[in-house]
Amino acid sequence: MAEDLFNEWEKEIKEISSSKLREDSREKLHETRRRYDELHQALKRAEKSMDPVLTRFNDQVLYLKHNLNAAAIASLKGETTNIQAEISRLIEDMNRAIAQADSFINTLH
């Protein structure tokens, strides 16, 4: 969808008769496309980092479901700490991606 908008913008630039306005629009297009690409990559990195954490979390849920007893829960305390740390890192990654998206949106105003 974004690529469609960029393509439309590129085509419409050709319709601008003023060379100054045409060049300014082309520069804004290139800068916007560059910033969008950065944002898109940040979101993809955050998305990729979610799968391993969610998989491990699912493993733990299933394990507890099948082995719900005091000994099993006690043996998972260390792993819970590791998962909590990974979730914290994931949240930080997502917050960075959101901040980058907000920054990008603010430049459009």
And the tokens for 100? 């980058």
What pLDDT shows up at residue 17?
A: 95
Tell me the pLDDT tens digit for each residue of 43-101: 888 888 888 888 888 888 888 777 766 666 677 677 777 888 888 888 888 888 888 88
* Chain segment 8-37, per-residue pLDDT in tens: 999 999 999 999 999 999 999 999 999 899
pTM of the model: 0.55
Which of 67 and 4 is assigned the larger pLDDT? 4
* CA separation for the pair 54, 36 (Å, rounded): 27
State residue 71's pLDDT score: 67
Residues spanned by the domain of 96: 2-107
- Please say whether the dihedral angle defined by the alpha carbons of residues 90, 95, 101 and 104, taken in this order, is positive or negative: negative
Total domain count, the chain: 1
Alpha-carbon span 63 to 56, nearest angstrom? 10
Which residues, at least 6 apart from 93, have a Cβ–Cβ distance to it below 8 Å? 45, 46, 49
Count of H-run helices and E-run strands, the chain:
4, 0
